[in-house]
């Protein structure tokens, strides 16, 4: 607890899981009831899911959230023998997490999972990451590795690894990055040499491996990208291997230690509780997943779900920061608000503080709707009985994934900064916890494919789907709401007019991208980041408008008012940025490259003035 003249602060462990908003979004905004009708999901009806999320929220608030600040202060540490110790409270929380089975919820029942839709899992991931992002990374990476094995592992591999990974007794990692191979994964050089017994000898160094070594589980299953002898260059020649920390005996028990060692862990800006490891593989025993040279395809399975999850991390950390800043704003007293009586006012009564609170709340609502929309389309793409609907759902997942990742994490940084601003000077002081959220979330626009790479994916690959028809259909779907908004009356009018204008801007930018991209890809890439932001703003505005209409239809006056105010505030005060970005999205690359190296550094000017 922080207190005193600096403002009365609530305990940092306070976290209020947003279960009622999650339930509202699932039921009224993203069509979850349809998902529960698909074959295989009959047991996951909305009431059951809301109960499950309620239980999960309670667990996260009580067990995981209180470990957040302690984990940051203590951090993970590497011992001289190469072992890695996580912060004190993590172990107990992790064992309780495993006992409760939260990591197993979305996986097939035949391997011990709960068989729930991915959308339910994403809601669980939000509450886990809000509680403690550094802690949540361990199950998150494990879930990515499970997904890859489910899709591409052979039967023996699935039987051997999945039950214990799904239960959480074993954890998983994702090993792509090497010193010379970051965004350019194709530059990796780790070698995989076949052995007579069918296994491979893996040799190389991987950097930045999240939970590459730790003490939360008895076994770590590394998924490692490497090249076999004679493999093609670039991404076409990459294969994916299971490299367990301990070899697994025939009976499933753990055998001898594999030759993978943790050389060091990084000292980072944030997520101090999450060990980020340099791993050395020296003739380590690895087992090929799928066929040789399929590595990138396998990693994409992991990366696509991980990209949405990382977008969700942006939302999750910002949600926790918002809640704490709101508590502070209601308690901290300074000056007298206009029209107030008495000695002083809570700072929440000042219009500019309200602006900061409402901006956080409206963006968070938009992001939650965007993430869950993506997740229900993942469920549709795997469980819709109709094949054409499955294909369309997969297209929408492809479109929304880079938007969720970038818009979610860019806003994660901006909103945690805004939350910190609400505290004034105390935001800059570590004890409030506001600074930790700001530091922790900063990695999210960087890892799992930087946001620049996401924007390139949007304009390069996603716009090209069916020569642009796929994205244009999505925009047309968003436009259908305009008629409903017009019918809903005057209170919805500004939402309708703003959405109309901003979708016009998005359509204009999309047309420009589709015309320009094929002939001048550099120009399209130059505008890709502002263009992606336009998408995020517009989809968010559309989903909040849907919420407002759904709120109006539901028999709950308070809910109706909240949804309307959020949609209107967003439409009038945040959404108009989309049209403001049209110029940057379509400006082309001329001025980005107009200055040479000397011009960028100012050296040319300096040379001239020195000569004069
Ligand atoms: C805390 C942490 C945890 C991580 N966890 C893991 C993990 O578990 N497993 C793993 O494999 N990796 C992990 N990473 C690595 C992470 O995914 C990479 O840092 C990231 O992909 C960026 O690579 P890089 O750092 O080499 O940056 P670079 O690729 O060098 O990029 C530098 C800058 O150039 C830009 N850039 C590069 N290429 C392009 C391009 N073609 N177009 C436009 N812009 C470009 C980038 O957007 C960025 O702004 C982690 C990193 C950190 C810091």
List, for residues 135-174, the tens digit of each pLDDT value. 999 999 999 999 999 999 999 999 999 999 999 999 999 9
pLDDT of 474 > 90? The answer is yes
- Asked if 363 and 574 count as a contact pair (C-beta separation under 8 A), the reply is yes
- 307-316 pLDDT, tens digit per residue, is 999 999 999 9
Report the nearest atom of ligand 1 relative to the CA of 210: 8
- For residue 590, how far is its CA from the centre of ligand 1 (angstroms)? 26
Residue 36 pLDDT greater than 50, yes or no: yes
If you count them, how many residues does the chain have? 612
> Other C-beta atoms within 10 Å of 508: how many?
15
Query: What is the average pLDDT across 400-428?
Result: 98
The answer to whether the beta carbons of residues 19 and 57 sit under 8 Å apart is yes
Q: Which of 525, 449, 526 is nearest to 185 (CA)?
A: 449
Please tell me the predicted confidence (pLDDT) of residue 577: 98
pLDDT at 115: 98
CA distances from 547 to 30, 41, 253 (A): 9, 25, 51
The pLDDT score that the predictor gives to residue 612 is 61
Buried b / exposed e over 447-464, threshold 16 CB at 10 Å, is bbbbbbbbbbbbbeebbe
Better-predicted residue by pLDDT, 2 or 120: 120
Assess whether pLDDT exceeds 60 at residue 407: yes
CA 449 – ligand 1 centroid, Å = 6
Which among 302, 279, 305, 276 is positioned nearest to 289, based on CA atoms?
302
- For residue 276, pLDDT over 90 is answered with yes
At 2 the pLDDT is: 39
| Distance (Å) from CA 65 to ligand 1 centroid | 28
Distances (CA, A) of 283 to 199, 201, 552: 11, 5, 63
Q: Which of 176, 300, 447, 453 to mutate to test the pocket of ligand 1 (most atoms within 8 A of CB)?
A: 447
Contacts of 541 (CB under 8 A, 6+ apart): 366, 495, 498, 499, 502, 567, 570, 571, 574, 575, 578
- H/E element holding 394? helix 387-422
User: Given the CA of residue 206, which atom of ligand 1 is nearest to it?
Assistant: 11
Q: Write the DSSP symbol of residue 533.
A: H
Residue 172 CB partners (closer than 8 Å, separation 6+): 141, 142, 143, 144, 145, 146, 165, 220, 221, 222, 223
Label residues 281-308 b or e (16+ Cβ within 10 Å = b): beebbbbbbbebbebbbbbebbbbbbbb
Q: At what angle do helices 118-131 and 351-383 cross, to 10 degrees?
A: 140
Q: Among 437-441, 547-551, 552-556, 594-598, which is the least confidently predicted range?
A: 552-556
Encode 526-554: b = buried (16+ Cβ within 10 Å), e = exposed.
Answer: bbbbbbbbbbbbbbbbbbbbbbbbbbbee
What DSSP element (H or E) covers 261?
Answer: strand 260-265
pLDDT at 13 over 70: no
Higher pLDDT: 604 or 362? It is 362
Q: What angle do CA 478, 484, 486 make, to 5 degrees?
A: 110
Among protein residues, the one with the nearest Cα to ligand 1's atom 51 is 208
Q: How far apart, in whole angstroms, are the C-alpha atoms of residue 36 and residue 231?
A: 44
DSSP 212-254: SS-SSSSEEEEEEEEB-TTPPSGGGG-EEEEEESEEE-TTS-E
Sign of CA dihedral 412, 414, 418, 421: positive
Q: Which residues line ligand 1 (CB under 6 A)?
A: 174-177, 182-183, 208-210, 268, 276, 443, 446-447, 450, 452-453, 456
Q: How far apart, in whole angstroms, are the C-alpha atoms of residue 55 and residue 19?
A: 10
Indicate whether 274 pLDDT > 80.
yes
Please provide the distance, in angstroms rounded to a whole number, between the alpha carbons at the two ends of the chain. 62
132 token code pair: 């403690």
Report which protein residue has its CA nearest ligand 1's atom 17. 447
pLDDT at 1 over 70: no
Instruction: With a cut of 90, say whether residue 608 has pLDDT above it.
Output: no
The pLDDT of residue 301: 80
Structure tokens at 115: 């068989």
- Average pLDDT on 405-419 reads 98
Ligand 1: which atom is nearest the Cα of residue 452? 47
User: Which atom of ligand 1 is the closest one to the Cα of 451?
Assistant: 47
Strands 260-265, 239-244: parallel, antiparallel or unpaired by DSSP? unpaired
Predicted confidence at residue 501, as pLDDT, reads 98
Is the pLDDT at 210 greater than 90? The verdict is: yes
Task: Give per-residue pLDDT as tens, 63-104.
Answer: 999 999 999 999 999 999 999 999 999 999 999 999 999 999
SS3 579: helix
Distance 184 CA to ligand 1 centre (A): 8
pLDDT of residue 11 exceeding 50: no
Whether residue 8 has pLDDT greater than 50 = no
Looking at residue 333, the DSSP 8-state letter turns out to be: B
E strand intervals along 533-602 = none
Query: Ligand 1 centre and the CA of 507: distance in Å?
Result: 31
Question: What is the average pLDDT across 237-260?
Answer: 97
DSSP code, position 346: B
**Predicted confidence (pLDDT) at residue 434 exceeds the cutoff of 80:** yes
Q: What is the mean pLDDT of residues 194-215?
A: 98
pLDDT at 7 over 70: no
Residue 455 CA, closest ligand 1 atom number: 43
Burial of 193 by CB count in 10 Å (0-12 exposed, 13-18 middle, 19+ buried)? middle
Query: Which residue's CA is the closest to the ligand 1 atom numbered 29?
Result: 183
Are 137 and 210 spatial neighbours (Cβ–Cβ below 8 Å)?
Answer: yes
Q: Which residues pair with 241 in a beta bridge?
A: 224, 288
- Report, as an integer, the average pLDDT of 42-63: 98
Which residue's CA lies nearest to atom 44 of ligand 1? 452
Query: Could you give the CA distance from residue 544 to residue 565 in angstroms, rounded to a whole number?
Result: 10
For the chain, give the percent of residues with pLDDT over 70: 97
Give backbone dihedrals phi and psi of 78, rounded to 5 degrees, phi first. Answer: -100, 135
In 336-386, alpha helices (H): 351-383
In the chain, helix, strand, coil percent, each to 5?
60, 10, 25
Determine which residue's CA is closest to atom 25 belonging to ligand 1: 182
Please tell me the distance between residue 440's alpha carbon and the centre of ligand 1 in angstroms.
16
Going by pLDDT thresholds of 50, 70 and 90, the confidence category of residue 602 is confident
Tokens of 320: 């926790």
Q: Which residues are catalytic?
A: 448
Q: What is the mean pLDDT of residues 535-543?
A: 98
pLDDT at residue 5, as a whole number? 37
What average pLDDT does range 226-245 have in this prediction?
Answer: 97
Residue pLDDT, tens place only, 477-505: 999 999 999 999 999 999 999 999 999 99
Test site for ligand 1: of 139, 178, 182, most ligand atoms within 8 A of the Cβ:
182
CA within 13 Å, CB half, 59: 22
Q: Give the Å distances, CA to CA, from 9 to 419, 432, 434, 438, 557.
A: 14, 8, 11, 18, 32
Which residues have C-beta within 8 Å of that of residue 314, sequence separation ≥ 6?
Answer: 367, 408, 409, 410, 411, 412, 413, 441, 444, 445
Burial class (CB in 10 A: 0-12, 13-18, 19+), 137: buried
């Amino acid at each position: 607890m922080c207190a005193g003249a600096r403002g009365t602060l609530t305990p940092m462990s306070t976290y209020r899981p947003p279960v009622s908003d999650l339930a509202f979004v699932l039921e009224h905004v993203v069509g979850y009831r349809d998902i529960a009708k698909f074959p295989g999901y009959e047991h996951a009806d909305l009431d059951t899911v809301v109960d499950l999320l309620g239980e999960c929220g309670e667990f996260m608030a009580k067990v995981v959230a209180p470990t957040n600040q302690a984990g940051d202060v203590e951090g993970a540490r590497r011992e001289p023998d190469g072992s890695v110790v996580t912060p004190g409270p993590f172990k107990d929380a992790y064992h309780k997490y495993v006992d409760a089975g939260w990591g197993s919820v979305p996986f097939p029942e035949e391997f011990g999972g709960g068989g729930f839709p991915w959308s339910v899992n994403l809601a669980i991931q939000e509450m886990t990451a809000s509680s403690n992002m550094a802690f949540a990374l361990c199950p998150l990476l494990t879930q990515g590795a499970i997904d890859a094995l489910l899709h591409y592992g052979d039967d023996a591999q699935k039987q051997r690894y999945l039950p214990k990974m799904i239960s959480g007794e074993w954890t998983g990692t994702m090993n792509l990055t090497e010193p010379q191979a970051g965004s350019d994964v194709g530059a990796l050089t780790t070698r995989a040499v076949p052995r007579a017994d069918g296994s491979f000898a893996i040799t190389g160094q991987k950097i930045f491996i999240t939970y590459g070594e730790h003490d939360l589980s008895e076994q770590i299953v590394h998924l490692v990208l490497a090249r076999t002898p004679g493999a093609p260059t670039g991404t076409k020649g990459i294969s994916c291997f299971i490299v367990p920390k301990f070899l697994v005996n025939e009976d499933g028990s753990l055998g001898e230690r594999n030759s993978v060692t943790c050389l060091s862990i990084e000292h980072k800006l944030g997520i101090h509780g999450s060990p980020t490891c340099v791993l050395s593989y020296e003739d380590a025993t690895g087992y090929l997943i799928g066929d040789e040279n399929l590595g990138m395809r396998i990693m994409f399975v992991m990366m696509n779900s991980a990209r949405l999850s990382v977008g969700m991390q942006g939302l999750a950390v910002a949600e926790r920061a918002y809640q704490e800043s709101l508590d502070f704003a209601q308690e901290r007293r300074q000056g007298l608000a206009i029209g107030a009586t008495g000695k002083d006012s809570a700072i929440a009564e000042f219009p500019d503080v309200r602006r900061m609170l409402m901006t956080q709340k409206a963006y968070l609502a938009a992001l939650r709707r965007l993430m869950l929309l993506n997740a229900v389309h993942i469920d549709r793409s795997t469980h819709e009985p109709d094949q054409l609907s499955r294909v369309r759902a997969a297209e929408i997942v492809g479109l929304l994934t880079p938007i969720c990742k970038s818009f979610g994490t860019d806003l994660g940084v901006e909103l945690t900064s805004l939350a910190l601003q609400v505290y004034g000077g105390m935001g800059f002081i570590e004890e409030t916890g506001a600074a930790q959220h700001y530091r922790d979330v900063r990695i999210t626009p960087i890892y799992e494919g930087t946001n620049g790479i996401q924007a390139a994916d949007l304009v390069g690959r996603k716009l090209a789907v069916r020569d642009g028809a796929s994205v244009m259909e999505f925009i047309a779907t968003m436009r259908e709401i305009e008629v409903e908004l017009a019918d809903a009356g005057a209170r919805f009018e500004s939402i309708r007019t703003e959405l109309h204008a901003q979708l016009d801007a998005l359509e204009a930018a999309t047309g420009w991208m589709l015309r320009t991209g094929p002939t001048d890809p550099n120009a399209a890439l130059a505008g890709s980041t502002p263009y992606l932001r336009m998408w995020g703003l517009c989809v968010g505005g559309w989903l909040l408008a849907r919420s407002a209409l759904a709120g109006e239809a539901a028999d709950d006056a308070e809910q109706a008012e909240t949804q309307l105010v959020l949609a209107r505030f967003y439409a009038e005060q945040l959404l108009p940025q989309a049209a403001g970005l049209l110029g940057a999205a379509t400006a082309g690359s001329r001025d980005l490259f107009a200055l040479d190296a000397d011009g960028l550094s100012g050296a040319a000017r300096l040379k001239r003035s020195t000569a004069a």
